[in-house]
């Protein structure tokens, strides 16, 4: 089983600011995915779910769903830093809908990078 180790996470505010300032964006109906080259040549992701999305239970549930999508689909992520930002509409999505939406976005992203 592959987890979500610390070296695959974006934890520092400066990393999120670097991605938002220098990165590229893909919009979906429920998510915004920002990405930029990673200074460590590895895949690192950060997840942002603001208070506008819902209460703590909803936000934590959504973060768990996104982390699980990442764990199951690491091959879709190229070596870069990713920031996945949830929109309000993401609060009512189930796991399969999260997977479909993020999967389609990452396939579009791979086409853009080629």
User: What pLDDT is attached to residue 102?
Assistant: 96
Answer whether 4's CB lies under 8 Å from 68's CB.
no
Which pTM value belongs to this model? 0.92
User: What pLDDT is attached to residue 21?
Assistant: 93
User: What pLDDT is attached to residue 65?
Assistant: 97
Instruction: Provide the pLDDT confidence category of residue 3 given band limits of 50, 70 and 90.
Output: confident
| 87 pLDDT above the threshold of 60 | yes
If phi > 0 it is left, if psi is from -120 to 50 it is alpha, else beta; for residue 97 that is alpha
User: What pLDDT is attached to residue 114?
Assistant: 60
Answer whether 73's CB lies under 8 Å from 4's CB.
no
**Which domains, and CATH codes, for the chain?**
6-109 (3.30.230.10)
């Amino acid at each position: 089983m592959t987890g979500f180790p610390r070296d695959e996470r974006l934890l520092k505010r400066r990393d999120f600011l670097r991605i938002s300032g220098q990165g590229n964006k893909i919009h979906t109906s429920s998510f915004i995915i920002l990405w930029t080259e990673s200074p460590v040549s590895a895949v690192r992701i950060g997840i942002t779910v603001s208070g506008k999305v819902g209460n703590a239970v909803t936000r934590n549930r959504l973060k768990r769903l996104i982390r699980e999508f990442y764990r199951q689909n690491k091959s879709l992520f190229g070596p870069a830093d990713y920031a996945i930002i949830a929109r309000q509409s993401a609060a009512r999505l189930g796991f399969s809908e999260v997977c479909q939406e993020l999967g389609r976005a990452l396939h579009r992203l791979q086409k853009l990078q080629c």
